[in-house]
Each structure stands twice: as C-alpha cells, then as structure tokens.
C-alpha cells in the first residue's frame, strides 16, 4: 500500500481520498478543475476553439458551479478529431491507446500517459475493493481484452489491488467453466449478460452454478437491473456489484459499488466531476444543469487526466446523482436506465430495454434471455414491438403462454406501450459474449 492510504474499515485499507470530507473533496475538485480547463485550453486546439467561440476563458472558472458555463464535448468531437487530435501530450508520452469498436461510425480513440494508467489502475482497484475483492484473491477476468477498455482496465486494477489475475477475456464459455472449476477463483469480472451465459452453460453441463468457488462478481459495461442482480446472486450464490465507466472518460472504474450497501456506484469524485443535464435540451449554460436527484444525462469532466483531458463529456447515459453512503463524500449514481440513443419511442411512449428486464424477471416462468424487435408492417405507419423471451426450462408451453399474457399486460401498465410477446424455446436466442445487443430494429430504413 502507498503512503496515501490509511486504515478505514475493519478488513480493507482505503485511499485517503475515499474518506475525506465533502468540503475537502470539493476544494480538491476546484483546484484540479481549474488546472484541467487551463491545461485543455492550452494544449488541445478543439478546446481553445470551443471556449473562444463560447466567449469563456479558463480564468472564468472561480467556483465549481462555473463549470456549467463551459461547452460540452461529444462523441462527434472525438470522431472529428480522429485519431489523435484530442491528445494533450506528444505521442511519445502516450503509453497506451484504446478505441471504441466504431460500428456506428469512425472509432473514437483514447490515450493514456504512464500516470493516467497508474491512476486508472488505482481507481479500478478502489472499485474492486469496494465490491468485496481483497488482495490475495484469485480474479477471473472475463471482460474482453484488446482495444476495449474492459479487459486491460480491469486487469491492471486487479493486479494493482494485489490479486492473482486470470486473464481469460470474453468468449470460449466452455473453457471459462473449466477454469472456474479448476482454478477456483474468488471473484469474476464480466458483463452481467455474459455471466448469465456462463451460469446457463454450467447448468447445461450438469454443474450447479451455486456450487463454484466464486464469491464476488463485479459487473458492468451495459445496463442491468436489481432484478438481474437478484437472479445472478441466487443462481450463482455470490455477491454482485456494479462497476461503471466509459472509454472517453477513462474506462471501467469511473464509479464502483460498495458490497456492504449495494445501492449504486460511487463516482470517484477526486478524479471526475459529474453533472446531470437535460438530455434533450441543446442549450449550454448553468441553466441546463439539473440538481442532485433529478433524472437526466450524465456529464463528466476529468480532473487528473494528462493524455486526454475531457471537459463536460456528454455520456448519453441517463441516470441521477444521489448522496454518498459507504463513501460519504463521493456521490452515487442511480442505475443507468438506458442511453438516450438506445431509447425506443413507440407511438409516443419512451421505452428502454432495462424496463422490460425489470418486469420480465418478476414473472417466474420467464428467463432473463430476451430481445426486442421493432418492425413496421407493410402498408402501415405504426411501429410494432415484439418482445421475444425464452421460457424457463421447467415451464410448460401452456405455462409460458399464460406468462406471456402477464408480461404483455405488465408492460402496458408500467410502460404504457402495447406490444406482442413471443415466448420462445430455452436456448433459442443469441447469447452474450460481452455487451449484449437487446434491440433489433427491423423497420425499413427511411
Ligand atoms: O464499457 C467500460 C467498462 C468496462 C465499464 C467494463 C465497466 C466494466 P465503453 O465501451 O466506452 O466502456 O462503453 C461505455 O457502456 O456509456 C454506458 O452506456 C455503458 N456502461 C458501462 N458501465 C455500465 C454500467 C466500457 N455499470 C458505455 N451500467 C457507457 C450501465 C454501463 N451501463
């Protein structure tokens, strides 16, 4: 452990910044923020241009609320500056590059200095520790390795915490199961839907998923619900916590959940300043910033990053900020209900896949394996939603048909949308290998 750490809870040593007061934290945020906006303005032409256009200067940032006067940064900005235009250091100081898959346009490229990598590892270690992982534990890392930040990000954090890391990456589910049986890891790091795939495959092999050595799961990279947490905890007999992050801001470990409270991820506010803004209001300015507890789009400003300082990045993730609990100075984020660009608008009603997950998992006959299909039957202008969902193994076809009716009614009551529910055979829908695609938009392209 470094000198920055002090003893805090009975069985874990926390970073000093995890235990400071809110006042001390905000003072730290202000000085780091003042440095970051000046640093970004001086080193990244895009920020200079945007600040100048908005008539704002780094010296205008006198208190934390002044951040609301600065322009937002979007994924589009990163795409336009592809590949390295947003980097604030010369290339030889960039120790690592990651990138998004680029399936919906040009990839977004992010970079890290040696210090950025050390900070990232520290924050992932902090998140894992909050979620129950301890030095000396064996950690099975099933996040994908490569340009995706999940694999290498989680790996470095687990190593920094002092764990034994098993770098299996995503996929090859049979092999994952063999290694879990043979190596007896204490913790698993994966997307929630991939952990479900693993549990399912275990059952198929006649292995009880509750019988493994796994005690902790640290899950993220896609939206998931309390119902899914319950499903995984019961099926696998472990404690499942959330980890949140995004590559443009760092990667996994921007926020992490405490196992003793399991009440949402604490945003590590000594490194990131969060804001919630009105997702559908393009206005820039202090007025567009919403208060704690209000639902909107999460926006982040990095406070310590060197290679890719990011100012007011629009994540498109919809959630709200809540007061800190297990780490009182650091605010929590509510569950991500969805992304603003993943929202289905069905005859005027907004709908997210996580709402369907929440409702479906309360119906015992239905499994967590579902897809949403959007169609527009020929000759009509009406969009139609079909929920394809697998019945549980032990359920009869008649039982499943009754469950389908219940699901349809519940969606109508709780979401307000009419849809068709199609209960399908167990094992017939595509399984996740990482981030699962839930929405299949089969409507004719305009
Ligand atoms: O998914 C980083 C990550 C890896 C986080 C492993 C956690 C674990 P990106 O590929 O850039 O980075 O995708 C970021 O994924 O904006 C959210 O929409 C979604 N996301 C990430 N974590 C969560 C979570 C990684 N815990 C995007 N809950 C984000 C809900 C999440 N959504």
Kindly list the distances between the CA atom of residue 170 and the CA atoms of 63, 141, 176, in Å, as whole numbers in the listed order.
44, 8, 9
253 lines ligand 1 (CB under 6 A): no
Alpha-carbon gap, residue 313 to 36, rounded angstroms: 14
Query: Which residues lie across from 371 on neighbouring strands?
Result: 388
Alpha-carbon gap, residue 247 to 147, rounded angstroms: 10
Alpha-carbon gap, residue 365 to 401, rounded angstroms: 10
- Mean of the pLDDT values across residues 402-425? 96
Omega into 83 within 30° of 0, i.e. cis?
A: yes
Least confident window among 35-44, 273-282, 288-297 = 273-282
246 lines ligand 1 (CB under 6 A): yes
Mutate to test the pocket of ligand 1, among 221, 308, 352, 433 (most ligand atoms within 8 A of CB): 221
With a cut of 90, say whether residue 48 has pLDDT above it. Answer: yes
- What pLDDT does residue 280 have? 78
With a cut of 80, say whether residue 3 has pLDDT above it. Answer: no
383 Cα–ligand 1 center, Å: 29
- Mean of the pLDDT values across residues 356-364? 97
With a cut of 60, say whether residue 49 has pLDDT above it. Answer: yes
245 lines ligand 1 (CB under 6 A): yes
Q: Rounded mean pLDDT of the chain?
A: 94
pLDDT band of 103, cuts 50, 70, 90:
low
- What pLDDT does residue 2 have? 43
Alpha-carbon gap, residue 168 to 198, rounded angstroms: 13
State which ligand 1 atom lies nearest to the alpha carbon of 220: 26
| Run of H or E residues at 197 | helix 192-204
Query: Which residues lie across from 65 on neighbouring strands?
Result: none
Q: How many CB atoms lie within 10 A of CB 383?
A: 16
pLDDT band of 1, cuts 50, 70, 90:
very low
Copy the structure tokens of residue 169. 């990456």
Kindly report, residue by residue over 311-340, the tens digit of the pLDDT.
999 999 999 999 999 999 999 999 999 998
120 lines ligand 1 (CB under 6 A): no
- Mean of the pLDDT values across residues 382-397? 95
Minimum CA distance residue for ligand 1 atom 21: 221
With a cut of 70, say whether residue 74 has pLDDT above it. Answer: yes
- Mean of the pLDDT values across residues 282-308? 88
225 lines ligand 1 (CB under 6 A): no
pLDDT band of 442, cuts 50, 70, 90:
very high
Of residues 2 and 426, which shows the higher confidence score? 426
- What pLDDT does residue 37 have? 98
Helices (H) and strands (E) in the chain, counts: 11, 24
251 lines ligand 1 (CB under 6 A): yes
Alpha-carbon gap, residue 193 to 201, rounded angstroms: 12
Sequence-distant (6+) residues with CB within 8 A of 54 are 69, 70, 71, 284
Q: How many CB atoms lie within 10 A of CB 104?
A: 10
Q: Are the beta carbons of 300 and 273 closer than 8 angstroms?
A: yes
348 Cα–ligand 1 center, Å: 28
411 Cα–ligand 1 center, Å: 26
State which ligand 1 atom lies nearest to the alpha carbon of 143: 6
- What pLDDT does residue 380 have? 86
Kindly report, residue by residue over 250-270, the tens digit of the pLDDT.
999 999 999 999 999 999 999
CA angle 29, 32, 35 (to 5 degrees): 145
Alpha-carbon gap, residue 287 to 283, rounded angstroms: 8
Percent of the chain with pLDDT over 70: 96
Minimum CA distance residue for ligand 1 atom 18: 317
Query: Which residues lie across from 423 on neighbouring strands?
Result: 389
State which ligand 1 atom lies nearest to the alpha carbon of 251: 2
244 Cα–ligand 1 center, Å: 5
pTM for the whole structure: 0.96
- What pLDDT does residue 7 have? 41
């Amino acid at each position: 452990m470094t000198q920055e750490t002090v003893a805090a809870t009975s069985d874990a040593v926390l970073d000093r910044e995890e235990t400071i007061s809110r006042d001390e934290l905000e003072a730290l945020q202000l000085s780091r923020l003042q440095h970051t906006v000046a640093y970004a303005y001086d080193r990244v032409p895009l920020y200079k241009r945007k600040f100048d256009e908005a008539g704002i200067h780094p010296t205008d940032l006198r208190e934390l609320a002044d951040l609301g006067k600065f322009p937002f940064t979007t994924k589009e900005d990163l795409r336009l500056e592809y590949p390295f235009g947003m980097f604030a250091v010369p290339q030889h100081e960039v120790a690592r590059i990651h990138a998004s898959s680029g399936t919906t346009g040009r990839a977004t490229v992010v970079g890290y200095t040696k210090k950025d990598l050390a900070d990232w590892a520290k924050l992932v270690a902090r998140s894992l520790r909050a979620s129950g992982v301890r030095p000396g534990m064996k950690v099975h890392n099933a996040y994908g390795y490569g340009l995706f930040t999940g694999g290498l990000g989680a790996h470095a954090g687990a190593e920094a915490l002092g764990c034994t890391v098993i770098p299996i990456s995503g996929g090859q589910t049979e092999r994952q199961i063999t290694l879990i049986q043979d190596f007896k890891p204490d913790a698993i790091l994966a997307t929630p839907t991939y952990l479900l795939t693993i549990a399912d495959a275990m059952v198929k092999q006649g292995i009880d998923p509750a019988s493994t050595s796994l005690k902790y799961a640290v899950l993220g990279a896609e939206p998931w619900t309390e119902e899914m947490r319950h499903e995984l905890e019961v099926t696998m007999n472990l404690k499942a916590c959330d980890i949140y992050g995004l590559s443009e801001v760092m990667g996994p470990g921007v926020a992490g959940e405490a196992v003793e409270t399991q009440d949402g991820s604490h945003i590590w506010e000594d490194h990131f300043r969060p804001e919630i803004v009105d997702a559908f209001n393009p206005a820039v300015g202090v007025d567009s910033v919403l208060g704690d507890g209000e639902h909107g789009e999460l926006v982040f400003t990095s406070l310590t990053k060197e290679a890719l300082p990011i100012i007011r990045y629009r994540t498109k993730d919809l959630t709200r900020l809540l007061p800190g609990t297990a780490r009182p100075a650091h605010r929590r984020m509510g569950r991500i209900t969805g992304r603003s660009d993943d929202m289905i608008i069905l005859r005027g009603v907004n709908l997210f896949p996580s709402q369907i997950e929440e409702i479906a998992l309360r119906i015992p006959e239905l499994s967590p394996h579902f897809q949403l299909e959007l169609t527009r039957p020929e000759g009509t202008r009406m969009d139609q939603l079909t929920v394809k969902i697998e019945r549980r193994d032990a359920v009869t076809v008649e039982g499943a048909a009754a469950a389908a009716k219940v699901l349809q009614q519940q969606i109508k009551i709780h979401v307000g949308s009419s849809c068709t529910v199609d209960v399908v055979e167990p094992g017939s829908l595509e399984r996740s290998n990482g981030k699962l695609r839930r929405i299949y938009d089969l409507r004719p392209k305009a």
